[in-house]
Amino acid sequence: MTPIRHDPTNDDPETECWRFCGALYAAPMISETVLALQDRFGLAVNILLFSCWHATFSNGRLGEAALRDLICATAPWRGGVTAHLREARRALPKGAPLRPSLLEAELAAERIEIAHLATLAPPAGEKAAPATIAATAFQNLKTCLIATGIPLTEYLHSALTRLAQTTAALPSPSD
C-alpha cells in the first residue's frame, strides 16, 4: 500500500473540500444516507461526498474514468487503514473507553483520504451556478454507481437525489 501523506492544516483546496464534506455529512439525513450506501452497497462515503463537492464547480462533472481512477487511488488507504479503524470501533460496545480514540483516528484517516482526492481530481474551475449544482452532483453520484458496477435502483435514485439536493442547498465551499 502506498501511503497517503498530507498535512491539511492551512486553507488550501483540500481543507475547503474537507469542510464542505463535513458540512454535507452533518446535514439532516445525510450521514444516515451515506452510511447506508456504504454498508449496503460498499460505496465509499468519501467518494460520494467528494463527488458532491466537485459538483459545486463550473466544470465539476466527473466522468466514469476519473471516478474509477479516484476510487482505485484511494482504495488501498480506505481498505488498509480507515476500514480497519472503523471495524475496530464498531466491534466495541457503545461507551467503551477506546471508542472515542478510534473514532478520532478514523476521522483523521478520512480527512487524509479527502485531501488526497482533492489533489488527484481534475481541476474544478470556478464556482458553479446554483441551478446546475444539484444536477451535476446527481450525475457524479450516478457515475459512482456505474464506476463500481452497481445498478441504479429506486432506493439508490432516492438516496442520490437527497445527496444532490442537499449539496445544492449548502453554502459555497468558499463562502
Digit-coded pLDDT (tens) for 54-75: 999 877 899 999 999 999 999 9
pLDDT in tens, 90-105: 999 999 999 999 999 9
Distances (CA, A) of 31 to 25, 73, 93, 157, 170: 5, 24, 20, 17, 15
Q: Which three-class secondary structure state does DSSP give residue 37? A: helix
Note the pLDDT of residue 8: 43
Note the pLDDT of residue 121: 80
**Bridge partners (DSSP) listed for residue 57:** 127
**Mean pLDDT of the chain, nearest integer:** 89
Q: How far is residue 43's CA from residue 35's CA, in Å, rounded to a whole number?
A: 9
The radius of gyration of the chain from alpha carbons, rounded to an integer in Å, stands at: 16
> How many Cα atoms occupy the beta-carbon half-sphere of 138 within 13 Å?
16
Residue 7: is its pLDDT beyond 50?
Answer: no
Q: How far is residue 40's CA from residue 29's CA, in Å, rounded to a whole number?
A: 16
Dihedral pair phi/psi, residue 65, rounded to 5° = -65, -40
User: What's the pLDDT band for 3 if we cut at 50, 70, 90?
Assistant: very low
Note the pLDDT of residue 10: 47
Note the pLDDT of residue 1: 38
By the 8 A CB rule, do 13 and 123 touch? no
Rounded mean pLDDT, 106-129: 88
